[in-house]
Amino acid sequence: MPMPVPSPAPRPHHLHPSEVQARVRLHSTPRLSLPPAMPVTVTRTTITTTSTSSGLGSSTIVGSPRALTHPLGLLRLLQLLSTCIAFSLVASVGAWSGPMGNWSMFTWCFCFSVTLVILLVEMCGLQARFPLSWRNFPITYACYAALFCLSASIIYPTTYVQFMSHGRSRDHAIAATTFSCVACLAYATEVAWTRARPGEITGYMATVPGLLKVLETFVACVIFTFISGPELYQHQPALEWCVAVYAICFILAAVAILLNLGDCTNMLPIPFPSFLSGLALLSVLLYATALVLWPLYQFDEKYGGVPRRARDVSCGRRHTYYVCDWDRKLAVAILTAINLLAYVADLVYSARLVFVKV
């Protein structure tokens, strides 16, 4: 059996003098002592983007005329066109006399002007230079415009168009009412598209409490329109208290809206959610007293009220552009109840901001 041949021993490797010096220098270098490993905490970062989403899964192209081809841009073009046609039809025949006609004309002109400004800002990419918070302003305005156009679509035909004789002027007024309804639907659609979704980080005015603030202030403005005549409340201190309630709650809600539009919520001495909860609670209590006192002193004979419309002398005649005193009192009572419900809902949502930790 053949014996295994041993492998030859490795030859000694002769290092160059420079290599020897390098190795000696490497081994002679003192080792650096590393600090003990520190625990690392990973924090989840949330990125907030401020893009006007149309709700259709696409982002708006700003700073370019292409913004008009986006669904939200096309919707705003519809708003611009419908309000422009509405006031143009009325102005062409002069069918806007009286306080109700003036209100409707103001509504269409105002909505047209502000919508035009919003389109120009988005086309030119001037959101950063806009004096108000762009996260809150467009949806705040859209909500107000929807309510304004809704009121014009109801008030104008009921207090003006129905008293007009058949002819060209009446046809123009009916067409203007139709385009006012179209504008109302367009603005309401924008609110539905751009409002906050569950889990989405956005401006306060895009949330349900923010939109309720818009509703509360708008209803208060309509109430002020109906009580513009002091003869409705100056004869009773209780009715004067109701007017004070409407004014106080309107001012508080308007302050909350302006703080958000100006990004000034950190200027308050208390946390903003606490401010909102206190505001809503105070408004609920005040409006509850007004809901009791206003109908009691306006429609109860024991307190000098008129219980039936037929007994009001001012309602005995049909006059163009005129709303009789009894109807105005009833409208204020209904609007008071609507605003109380809005403030109750606002209180519920605002309390969740304070006591519910997400």
Note the pTM of the prediction, 2 decimals: 0.78
C-alpha 174/C-alpha 171 separation (Å) is 5
Token couple for 90: 């009325």
The owner of tokens 């120009």 is 120
Which distant-in-sequence residues (6+ apart) come within 8 Å of 11 by Cβ? none
Token couple for 226: 């109906």
Torsions phi, psi for 167 (to 5 deg): 160, -165
Torsions phi, psi for 325 (to 5 deg): -65, -40
Q: What per-residue confidence (pLDDT) applies to 310?
A: 72
Contact in structure between 284 and 344 (CB atoms under 8 Å): yes
C-alpha 319/C-alpha 208 separation (Å) is 40
End-to-end C-alpha distance for the chain, whole angstroms: 84
pLDDT digit string (tens) for 280-334?
Answer: 999 999 999 999 999 999 988 888 778 887 777 777 665 556 778 888 899 999 9
pLDDT digit string (tens) for 128-184?
Answer: 889 999 999 999 999 999 999 999 999 899 888 887 888 899 999 999 999 999 999
- Burial class from Cβ neighbours inside 10 Å (0-12, 13-18, 19+) for residue 357 reads exposed
Token couple for 88: 């143009």
Closest CA to 215 of 150, 288, 295: 150
Residue 330: helix, strand or coil by DSSP?
Answer: helix
C-alpha 88/C-alpha 83 separation (Å) is 8
| pLDDT grade for 47, boundaries at 50, 70 and 90 | very low
